[in-house]
Chains A and B, each alone.
Chain A
């Protein structure tokens, strides 16, 4: 066991962790931030994506001690300062981009990383960027729509059947 300190969602936090502790387990168990989810053990599903020093990473595939001294953002740190939903989070609600909610934290974190580097992505770019985040509920339609909407693009005609 060794003491581990990192800045998470703007707060400097410390807890003890074994060398083998994964960042996802440290966040969930050590720090009680259970918004980060673990949906697989082969680094495929992306439910555990957080930002480490501004970069999206799969926290289940990174040792907690690798993040010592780093600045971490998790889903708990994504809302506006007043607690209201951020533009991206709000777009997920507005466009029904989530159902069971389990993949949602990772999906939001990955989408936020995309919009940070590509503020106006195409549909194909959104789909490609999210290839490491598996959702079993939505069929991705409304997730893609939400990300496009969050980037300020008009999605009113997307996938709408003729009335």
Chain B
């Protein structure tokens, strides 16, 4: 790693101030950023830890939804959100491994927007709202392609507000080495329709499979997807799978998510 100054503010206001300077980067759980810094792929002058700010942590339910503090770890979401949004909790419990889940945070995952990360699929499929220190951003506006989001420099995610669907499930097919999603599909059925979000598969990052959403809104069953297919164009091709394979997996995982959602 390159040398940097480390600060760990205790309040959001202090963190905002610290991040307002050029060369400052926020550090959440660090499960991606620290690995990248070890490879010298990032060179912040100042690293501002967000893990010491109590107001960024916690899971609370109300108004038909669940709000999760941005610095809440995956392990905490898996444990604390289970009563309110089981599918989301189950997804959190599949990220990385237990030690990674004890450090990694939802805010960090979303800000990084890795195209194979799990959380973006839940956020997009749920139609969640990303709350920052300056504004609220709808999920449909937040994800802007792999590793790209609507966040401005210095902007801090403070929480994520999830509406809780009637039914939902996440079906993940693991990339065998990294255990990220080779393809992961989150299906959420709301009173006014179904949303389907796919991670791991597309070169454009997480995306909504609108044809499946329409079919499932009409008939929430795996059979409703039978006639559909996802084009391989734009899907990721790498060591672990061709674009055709990923396109195929999108459908298989969507079906499995629908079945799991019940």
CA distance A65 to B49 in the complex (A): 10
Overall SS of chain A's interface:
mixed
In the complex where A57-B103, A132-B99 touch, is A19 in contact with B4 (Cβ < 8 A)? yes
Chain A residues within 8 Å of B100, by CB: 43, 58, 61, 132
Contact A110 B99 (CB under 8 A): yes
Contact A129 B38 (CB under 8 A): no
A interface with B by C-beta (< 8 Å): 18-20, 22, 41-44, 46, 49, 55-58, 61-63, 65-66, 68, 110, 113-114, 129, 131-133
In the complex where A43-B35, A43-B100, A114-B98 touch, is A61 in contact with B1 (Cβ < 8 A)? no
Contact B99 A58 (CB under 8 A): yes
Contact A113 B3 (CB under 8 A): no
Within 8 Å by CB of B31, from A43, A46, A113, lies A43
CB distance from B149 to the nearest CB of A (A): 22
B interface with A by C-beta (< 8 Å): 1-6, 8, 27, 30-31, 34-35, 37-39, 47, 49, 51, 75, 96-100, 102-103, 178-179
Report which residue of A18, A55, A58 has the largest number of chain B beta carbons within 10 angstroms of its beta carbon. Answer: A58
In the complex where A19-B4, A19-B5, A19-B6 touch, is A66 in contact with B99 (Cβ < 8 A)? no
CB distance from B91 to the nearest CB of A (A): 15
CA distance A68 to B37 in the complex (A): 20
Contact B6 A41 (CB under 8 A): no
Contact A66 B49 (CB under 8 A): yes
Contact B97 A131 (CB under 8 A): yes
Chain B residues within 8 Å of A114, by CB: 98
Chain A residues within 8 Å of B6, by CB: 19-20, 63, 65
CA distance A65 to B9 in the complex (A): 12
Within 8 Å by CB of A41, from B8, B39, B178, lies B39
CB distance from A46 to the nearest CB of B (A): 6
CB distance from B5 to the nearest CB of A (A): 6
Chain B residues within 8 Å of A43, by CB: 31, 34-35, 96, 100
CA distance A62 to B97 in the complex (A): 15
